[in-house]
Every structure is written in structure tokens, then in C-alpha cells.
A and B are shown apart, each in its own frame.
Chain A
Amino acid sequence: MYKKLTFFCAALSCILLGGCGSQSGENGVVIVYNWGEYVDPDTLDMFEEETGIKVIYDEFETNETMFPKIEAGAAAYDVVCPSDYMIHKMIENDLLMELDYSKIPNAKANIGAWYWEQSQAFDQGNRYSVPYCWGTVGILYNKTMVDEPITSWAQLWDETYKDEILMQDSVRDAFMVAEKTLGYSMNTLNPDELQKAKEALIAQKPLVQAYVIDQVRDKMIGGEAAIGVIYSGEAIYTQYENPDLEYAIPEEGTNVWIDSWVILKDAPNKENAEKFIDFMCRADIALKNFEYITYSTPNDTARALIEDEEIRNSPIAFPDLTQYDNLESYVYLGEDGDTLYNELWKEVKSY
């Protein structure tokens, strides 16, 4: 009886676990883990057609939910697209494979030097990551609701805009605003500077209408607030919906974020992963993706192909970054650093 039962269970689990997902392309598969809505689905079809490699595509919603899945090794992914500081953390946890750029010729050929330079902050020597999307964090304001153009973070502390200000509801973005206003680095771990930044955020709290994440888009379009901290990629879309909105990179400098392709150290399909990244760096593919996602592309060759001059030279999508010397990217602060920031943020939120 028991033998029969064990046999039955074994057979059942074989059917359940082995039965699905075994289909693959003639040249194998590549398993991609990317942000939601972060690639034009057509480009995936094109990749499959041209290379005969089947793409198994999966999506995540935040860096923080992606990391534990990768770290635990739950699903064997090949290519992932995390953000700057998370790449740093994954490098420190020894999760990434060093890239062989001779297998990814399009990367070095098409992606602008500036982005490689900026990537150094979290990926010393550009050994692990290939930039895919980037943008700045800035201020979106409604021209009809403010008296003068907004040009600096300091104006977020202006009493006249009481209850008209939207702040980002995330630790690093909120602290970045305060730290940049005070002239510190946004990766600072200096306790005095952090205390001052915390006090500034607490002082600002009565003026803030709400701490929001993606609602900033809808609220700004609807004219529910005058000023909001927003990602540049979103700014283009909001302007399209409401022409009164204007985006500015504050003069104190800001965060330049970069989402980059990386290959995992224990990726089962390393060669296919390299082919996939190379394909994504091809100018025509990068252009298709830019048009779909509308986040700035670091692919200079693709940018040159954009037909609409207004977009190609848009100061929001492609600001002249050489005129700033105070742009930074987030780096991983270590576990102690993360805890410190989180505690201070809790104090701000509960004040």
C-alpha cells in the first residue's frame, strides 16, 4: 500500500514539476528578469526570430523584491536589470558575472562614454553592467500655480507653497533632496550631516501635501499640487497630458539613476545572455524600446536615429549633463548604512 502510494506521489510530482516549461527554442533559452513594462514586447519576438533563442521573460516591481529571489537562487535567471545601488549590492554579494565585452560589441560601440563614466560609481571599471535606461530626479511644477520658475531644491522649503508640495515616499529619494539642499553628498554616512538632513525634512513636513510614489503623476496632471519631486521619465508623459507642467533639474545637483543589464554568476545560459544584452544594445532595438518606455536611453547611436528633433534634443530626456558637476548616483551603503537611513526616515515620518 505504502509503496503504491509513494509511487503515485512520485509520478504525480513528475507530471506537475516536469510537465511544463520544457519548450525551448532551437538554440536554447535565455531567462530575463526585468522591471514591469520595461521592454517593447516586439523586440523580444524579433530576438527570438533572429537568434532562435527562446526568451522566458519575467518581471519584478522593486529592486528590493527582486534581490531576495536572486540571492536565494529560487529561479535560475540569466539576465537581470537592477538599478545602480542594487548592482553595487549584488557585486558585493558576489552574485554577478564579469562581462566579456568582445561578446557584446554593440555595448561599447553604441553607449555613450558619459554613462560608462557615471556607472563607475557603483560598478568600478564597468566590469559587470551595461546601461539600459537612465534618468534624473527633479522637480515638476505647474507654471500656472507658482510665482516664479522653480530652479532649486531650496524652494521646496518655501512657505508660500504650503500644502502644494509632493515628496517621494522613499528613504533615499527623500534624503537625497535634503542632503543636496544642504550641499552634502547623497551617499553620505556622516552622522552630523544625516542629523541635519533629518531635521530639514522634519522642518519641511508641515509644507508637504503628501509623500507619494507613483501618484505624483496623476496628482500633477490633475493640478492637485503645484510642485512635485519626480523621475524625468515620468515628466515627459505628464507634460504630454498637461502642457502647464515644467520639469527642472535643481541647481544644487541631483541623482542620476541608471538601470543596467547584468548577468548572474550562476546563470544557466551565459552565452545566450550575452547575445541578449548585445541585441538590446543594437541601435534600432534601443530606439524601439525608447519609444515604448519613454525613459532616456544611454544608447547614443539610437538617440541619433530619433526622428522628432524636439524629443532628440529634449532637455528633459537628454539634458546636457556636462554643465553639471554635482550629479551623483546612489551607491550601496552597506547593511549598517541602510539601517541608519531607515531609522532616520522613520523618525521623520512619525514626527
Chain B
Amino acid sequence: MKFAKKIYVALIFLFLYAPIGTLIVLSFNASKTRSKWGGFTVKWYVSLFQDETILQALGMTLLIALLSALAATVIGTISCVAMNNMKRRTRAVLMGVTNIPMLNADIVTGISLMLLFISFGLRFGFGTILLSHITFNIPYVILCIMPKMKQFNPSVYEAALDLGASHITAFFKVMLPDLAPGILSGFLMAFTMSLDDFIITHFTKGAGIDTLSTKIYTEVKKGIKPEMYALSTIIFVTVLVLLFLVNAAPDKKQDAVL
């Protein structure tokens, strides 16, 4: 039984990581085609850092992910505070409304945003991508913060007010620290969603501006360049290292809190 369990876990990891493993191996392949091993090389990594368009796309992706996640987190947190003070029925309706964009197909969101921007006469470019990313990020932030909000004891907040704190002070000193884990996970969720997105970006981007996903997709016709394998490998390793660091750190922190 124990043996079967181990095999099961091994299989899960195999299916999860086999594609990434293949990609990493291919990023060191001297031949451009996946079906031939042309010897070990790091030339794709070298040419990656000389390829301006890829680096620009990478920078753009990170910038948009960061800005949109920040903005969505602020807006989402404020909305949660407001929604928490509403009557139960209004809140339920609002929660439903904010959930719809999450269930909605990306392509529908993308095309409707594009049409909206056109009807407002906005120029397509960095701004429109950022606006649309903020838009689709907000529901995820709300989804992450709302449960924390429900756990929050309103009496504590009222006590702060009774003791002379203004609403703003009470919010920052009392409510925010309690919500912090939800806000952080909301931010990370928004960041990942934005990093991930292809289809909405495709419809809302203007000429001459690319994120990594749209850049990679345009290479479909002529075959994806091995530089992209190299970049994906670097991103994967970075995330892996970050995860290890994050997972190693909490022990100390938790001790401190307790």
C-alpha cells in the first residue's frame, strides 16, 4: 500500500514536471529542432540576452503584472471594506456580479474590453493593457480578501473608534493587519493571473507593444525560437528558488508571531 502511494505521487510529479523538463533540456540543444540532439550549448542563453524584443517583452510583462496587481489590490481591498458594510442581500448580489468576470471566458472579456475602449476612443497601447489587466484582476483580489473580512471581528474595529481613533486610523491600525494575509495572497494571485494572460492582452494591445505571451504566440507560424526555451527555463528556475526561500523562511516568522 505504501509502495502504491509512492508510485502514485511519483506519477503525479512526472506528469507535472515532464513538460518543463523537456523544455529545459531543449534549451541546451544546439539544433533548432526538437527531434534532433545537436549537442550541448548555451548559445540560446547568450542570444537571448542580446535579443532586444524578447527582453522588452519580458520587461513589459513584469511591469504590467506589477502595476495591475498593485492597483487591483488597492481597489479590491477598498471594495471589500465597502461590501462588508452593506446589507446582506446587496452584498450577495455584488459578490455574484464580481464573480461573473472570473467565470466568463477570457475571449469574451477580451473582445468586450476592446469594443469598450474603441467606443471611448482610447488609443490602444500600454494604458489599455494595464486597464484591462486591472479589470480582470479585481475579482481575484476580492475573492482572496472576502473570507478574511468575514473572520474579522467588527467589535475590535468599533472598540478602536470608541477609544478615539478616526475611521482611517482604525482601518490602518486594526483592520488592515488582520486582512494582510488575504491582501498578500490576492496580490500574488493578481500578479500571476496578469503574467499568465494571453487572450485579453491580445485584444487590448496596440501596435508595437508586446508581452511575453503575445510575443511567443506570434512565433507560431515559423516555429518558436529556442531563445524562448532558455527564457522559460530561467523563469522556472527563478520561481523555484523563490519558492524554496519562501518555504524556508516562515518557520522563524511563525515563531515570532506565536
Question: How many chain A residues touch the partner (CB < 8 A)?
Answer: 43
Which residue from chain A places its CB closest to the CB of B130 in the assembled complex?
A16
A67 CB within 8 Å of chain B = no
CB-defined contacts of B207 to chain A, threshold 8 Å: 31-33, 56-58, 75-77
State the main secondary structure of chain B at its contact with A. Answer: loop
State the main secondary structure of chain A at its contact with B. Answer: mixed
Knowing A57-B208, A58-B207, the reply to whether A37 touches B122 (Cβ < 8 A) is no
Which residue from chain A places its CB closest to the CB of B204 in the assembled complex?
A74
Which residue from chain A places its CB closest to the CB of B123 in the assembled complex?
A17
B189 CB within 8 Å of chain A = no
Annotate B105-135 by CB proximity to A: 1 below 8 A, 0 otherwise.
0000001001101100011111110110000
Identify which of B34, B126, B219, B225 contacts A21 (C-beta below 8 A).
B126
A184 CB within 8 Å of chain B = no
A149 to chain B, nearest CB (A): 23
B220 touching A214, Cβ below 8 Å: yes
Identify which of B33, B122, B215, B221 contacts A218 (C-beta below 8 A).
B33
A153 to chain B, nearest CB (A): 24
Within the assembled complex, what's the spacing in Å between the Cα atoms of A74 and B225?
Answer: 28
A100 CB within 8 Å of chain B = no
CB-defined contacts of B218 to chain A, threshold 8 Å: 35-37, 59-61
A77 to chain B, nearest CB (A): 6
B221 touching A214, Cβ below 8 Å: yes
A72 touching B223, Cβ below 8 Å: no
Which residue from chain B places its CB closest to the CB of A233 in the assembled complex?
B222
A13 touching B127, Cβ below 8 Å: yes
Knowing A59-B218, A214-B221, the reply to whether A224 touches B35 (Cβ < 8 A) is yes
A132 to chain B, nearest CB (A): 14
CB-defined contacts of A60 to chain B, threshold 8 Å: 218
Using CB atoms and an 8 Å cutoff, list the residues of chain B in contact with chain A.
31-36, 53, 111, 114-115, 117-118, 122-128, 130-131, 202-210, 215, 217-223, 225
Q: List 27 A-B contacts (CB under 8 A).
A: A17-B123, A19-B126, A21-B123, A21-B126, A32-B207, A36-B217, A36-B218, A37-B219, A37-B222, A57-B207, A58-B208, A58-B209, A59-B210, A59-B215, A61-B220, A65-B202, A72-B115, A74-B203, A74-B204, A74-B206, A75-B206, A218-B33, A218-B34, A218-B35, A241-B31, A241-B33, A293-B222
